[in-house]
């Protein structure tokens, strides 16, 4: 799954304990981890995966592939967000 969508949090919720580390920033889960839920069910927690879609590099932070603090220039992703919004919603008219 994509980074920061709640894979580890879901496993923790199902397990009803802190079986996996969680955090607000991408990259907390660094390797594959097997968590035994019960005798018959084993869950796998893995790092987020973002496949190359051919989108411009400014789109990577929008998919959670890059932490906002690591951006050299936040203007590119901000413009990509604004391009997706209807003009009326952005202008406030």
pTM of the predicted structure, to 2 decimals: 0.61
Contact between residue 45 and residue 18 where contact means Cβ atoms under 8 Å apart: no
For 60-71, the pLDDT digits (tens) are: 677 776 777 778
- My answer on whether 39 and 17 are in the same domain is yes
**Is residue 50, in this structure, part of any structural domain at all?**
no
- Residue 74: the pLDDT is 82
**pLDDT class for 36, splitting at 50, 70, 90?**
very high
Q: Do 11 and 36 belong to one domain?
A: yes
Residues 66 and 43: their CA atoms lie apart, in Å, by 26
| Domain presence at residue 76 | yes
Per the structure, the complete domain to which residue 80 belongs is given by 58-88
Specify whether the backbone of 67 is left (phi greater than 0), alpha (psi in -120 to 50) or beta: beta
Please state, in angstroms and as integers, the Cα–Cα distance from residue 86 to each residue in 31, 80, 92, following that order. 39, 12, 11
**Looking at the 3D structure of the chain, how many domains does it have?**
2
Judge if 36 and 65 occupy the same domain.
Answer: no
């Amino acid at each position: 799954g994509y980074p920061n969508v709640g894979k580890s949090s879901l496993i923790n919720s199902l397990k009803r304990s802190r079986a996996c580390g969680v955090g607000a920033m991408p990259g907390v889960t660094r390797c594959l981890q097997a968590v035994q839920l019960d005798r018959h069910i084993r869950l796998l927690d893995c790092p987020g995966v973002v496949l190359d879609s051919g989108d411009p590099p400014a789109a990577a932070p929008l998919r959670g592939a890059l932490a906002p603090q690591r951006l050299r220039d936040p203007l590119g992703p901000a413009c990509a967000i604004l391009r997706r919004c209807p003009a009326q919603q952005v202008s406030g008219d």
